[in-house]
Amino acid sequence: MTQTLLLTDALFLQHDPGPEHPECPARLARILSLLDSQPIPGTERRAPRPATDEELAAVHSPRLLEALKGLRGKSTSLDPDTALSPDSYDAAVLAAGASVQAVEEVMAGRARNAFALVRPPGHHAEPEQAMGFCLLNNAAIAAEAARRLGAQRVLIFDWDVHHGNGTQAAFWKRRDVLYMSAHQFPYYPGTGAPTEIGEGEGLGYTVNCGVPGGSGDADYGALCERLFLPVARAWRPDLVIISAGFDAHREDPIGGMVVTERGFAAMCTAFQQLAREFCGGRLVLLLEGGYSLEGLSRSVHACVEVMAGRREEHFVEGVSRDVADALRRSREALQPHWPVLGQ
Please identify which of the residues 60, 123, 124, 183 carries the catalytic annotation: 124
Longest Cα–Cα distance of the chain, Å, equals 55
Q: Where are the alpha helices (DSSP H) in the chain?
A: 25-37, 53-57, 62-69, 88-107, 138-148, 165-170, 217-223, 229-235, 261-279, 293-307, 321-334
How does DSSP assign 228-295, residue by residue? IHHHHHHH--SEEEEEE--TTBTT-SS----B-HHHHHHHHHHHHHHHHHHHTT-EEEEE-----HHH
CA 71 to chain centre: 25
3-state secondary structure of 220: helix
Q: Which residues pair with 275 in a beta bridge?
A: none
Q: How far is CA 136 from CA 121, 126, 156, 251, 277, in A?
A: 8, 8, 16, 27, 31
| 3 state DSSP class of 183 | strand
Cβ atoms of residues 121 and 165 within 8 Å: no
In total, the chain counts a number of residues equal to: 343
Classified as helix, coil or strand, 310 is coil
Provide the pairing of β-strand 43-46 with 76-77: unpaired
Instruction: Note if 124 is an active site residue.
Output: yes
φ, ψ dihedrals at 230, nearest 5°: -60, -45
Residue 210 carries which DSSP code? Answer: E
* Residues assigned a catalytic role: 124
